[in-house]
Structure formats: C-alpha cells, structure tokens
Amino acid sequence: MCKITNSAISVNTYSSRLLEQCVNELARLPGIGRKTALRLALHMLKQEDIAVENLTGAISDMKSKINYCKICNNLSDGEICQICDNPKRDPGLVCVVSDIRDILAIEKTAQFGGVYHVLNGIISPIDGIGPGDLNIDPLVKRVANGGIREIIFALSSTIEGDTTSYYIFKKISQHNVSVSTIARGISVGDELEYADEVTLGRSIMNRMPYQSGLK
C-alpha cells in the first residue's frame, strides 16, 4: 500500500538537540533512567514558564547558598543550623550520625531534644575512607571544649559503624562524658519468628526492665 523504505534511515532519536541535552542531564540523576528523563522533560515543556523557573531557581539557590552548620555540620541556611540555634534543644546531649538523612529520620520521631553531629560517612577501609576523611576532629574538639554531658552513637550496626563508634569512643574517653548507643532490638510490631538471629540474640542480652505501656 505504501512504500516503506527499510534501508538505513538516519535515526536521531530526539528531533531536538535541546531536548536531548535536557534528557541526558536528567538521566544522570540517581534512579532516573532515560525513559523517566524524557517523561520529565516533556512534562516541563507542558508546564508554565514560571513553574520551570521555580524549579531551576530552587536548585540553583540551594546549590549556591546552602551552608553547613559550623557546629554540627548539618545543612543550614545560615552559619548555625536551626537545631543548634534552637534554645529549646539541649546542647549537652549530642547524637552522632553519619549522614544528614539520619537527622531527618530522627527528627521525624520527635523523641530527641538534643543536638547532632554529622560525620559525613563512617570509617570504611575497603572504600578508602579513614578517620581523617570524616568530621571526627571537630567532634573531639566540641567534647574537649566542655558543656557536653552525653554522646549518643546513632551509626549503622555494621563492622564499619562499630569501628567508627569505637574510634571516637577512644578519642573522647579521656573527657568526662558519658557515651551511649541507640538501642538495637526487635522492631515495634515485628513478629519474633521473622527476626534475624543476631538481632534476636542481642535483644535478649540487652533485655530491659518491664514497663507496661498500658495505664
């Protein structure tokens, strides 16, 4: 019915170089493949100009203006982050985390009234990350300067996390500060039979005095 040329037609997948560049850049983001990138780019083309300007402006602003808190290394708009700057938070109680995301997770629980210290990673020789690459010295200085009553380690329970905790513990043990780590045990709501044996074993070793949650 129609003449279909089956020969090599020069296939340039995107008809526009501008679109192609945008898709390439979006596809560099983690978890975004080329199909999703194309969907996002075509979505942006359908949006009002102002909506896309808001997006690019928010990204540029964040990238160029954001600071890291001089005290705890958390993300911050100013020199000191909102948590360190909050007079209601207890500066004598410091929770040590490896990543900013951990702060967000702990803040969501609304159970912690102290302040934080972000290490920016954990000691991991296999990845070439030593104590010098992490934000550990400023923590030791914070402790040496006094005013800190307790340090809570909230690092992952891996060999790397335990190594990091131990390294910091040795560094600060000369100072008069109590050191604790977050409780490990069976998740609230979990069935015992599905818990892994290490967690279950630890939760029996570290058993707690019974307190009724009911009144």
User: Residues 104 to 143: which contact a copy of itself by CB under 8 A?
Assistant: 104, 107-108, 110-114
- Of 1, 111, 94, nearest to 84 by C-alpha is 94
Spatial CB neighbours of 178, under 8 Å, sequence gap ≥ 6: 149, 150, 151
- Contact set for a copy of itself, span 167-206 (CB under 8 A): 178, 180
Could you please report the per-residue DSSP string of 50-102? Answer: HHHHHHHHHHHHHHHH-EE-TTT--EESSSS-TTTT-TTSEEEEEEEESSHHH
Residues 56-95 that bind a copy of itself (CB under 8 A): 56, 58-66, 69, 74-77, 81-83, 86, 88-90, 93
Residue 11 or 192 having the CB closest to a copy of itself: 11
With H, G, I as helix, E, B as strand and everything else as coil, classify residue 115: strand
Residues 4-33 contacting a copy of itself, CB under 8 A: 4-6, 8-19, 21-22, 24-26, 28-32
Q: Which CB, 71 or 136, lies closer to a copy of itself?
A: 71
According to the binding rule CB under 8 A, does residue 207 interact with a copy of itself? no
Q: Find out whether 56 and 47 touch, Cβ atoms under 8 Å.
A: no
Rounded to whole angstroms, the Cα distance separating 178 from 148 reads 9
- The minimum distance between CB 105 and a copy of itself, in angstroms, equals 10
Judged by CB under 8 A, the stretch of 48-56, 122-130, 164-172, 201-209 that binds a copy of itself is: 48-56
Min dist. Cβ of residue 127 to a copy of itself (A)? 15
**Region of residue 189 (left: phi > 0; alpha: psi -120 to 50; beta: else):** left
Beta carbon of residue 191, minimum distance to a copy of itself (angstroms, whole number)? 26
Q: How far is the CB of 116 from a copy of itself (least distance, A)?
A: 9
Interface with a copy of itself (CB under 8 A), residue total 82
Pairing of strands 67-68, 75-76: antiparallel
Kindly state the tokens that stand for 73. Answer: 């290394």
